[in-house]
Amino acid sequence: KERTFICIKPDAVQRGLIGKVVERFEQRGYKLVAMKMLKAAKPHLEIHYEELQGKPFFKDLVNYMSSGPVVAMVWEGLDVVKQARQMLGATNPLNSMPGTIRGDFSIQTGRNIIHGSDSLSSAEREIAHWFKPEELCEWNSATTTWVYE
Ligand code: GTP
Ligand code: MG
């Protein structure tokens, strides 16, 4: 049961897009196993984006991500890490295909509305960084046998 970390960024919260983003993952058939709204602290975000420390946009990125509440989520299902990245679209929304979340709802890289883990190992690290084990909800979706053969 593969899991990925998805974060609805402050711009999407402000723009009233939480429901639209959640809907994309629900309608695909993925299972939500954790979700919370929070204002992320800068040190927390600096660790989350530690691979980008030293990039010229790092400070702007941390300011952006701490500018308001985010919605942190864990989604579960077959190949969800890679599939979620495809559903998100390219980092720069100008390169995101229509039909992707960024391609349908955003224009600039610095306001690209959503984060998704880029690998299995990032997903594990990010889920542990944002959630306590007891915040992950084990449940059986009644639709499982209709989503998977
Ligand atoms: P995330 O899912 O948020 O991790 O995006 P990503 O994996 O598609 O891109 P990456 O991890 O390289 O960058 C993380 C985030 O930093 C991006 O989603 C953008 O919000 C921001 N970012 C990346 N590159 C730039 C840039 O060149 N300029 C600005 N302003 N922000 C950037
Ligand atoms: Mg990334």
Residue closest via CA to ligand 1's atom 29 equals 110
| DSSP of 44-100 | HHHHHTGGGTTSTTHHHHHHHHTSS-EEEEEEESTTHHHHHHHHH--SSGGGSPBTB
Residue 120 is predicted with a pLDDT of 98
For 127, the 3-state DSSP assignment is helix
Q: What ipTM does the predicted assembly reach?
A: 0.96
Of 44, 48, 115, 129, the catalytic one is 115
Residue 147 is predicted with a pLDDT of 98
115 is catalytic: yes
> 10-residue block means of pLDDT along the chain (149 residues)?
98 98 98 98 98 98 98 98 98 98 98 98 98 97 97
Output phi, psi for 115, to 5 deg.
-115, 145
Ligand 1 site, residue 137, Cβ cutoff 6 A: no
Distance 42 CA to ligand 2 centre (A): 17
Ligand 1 site, residue 91, Cβ cutoff 6 A: yes
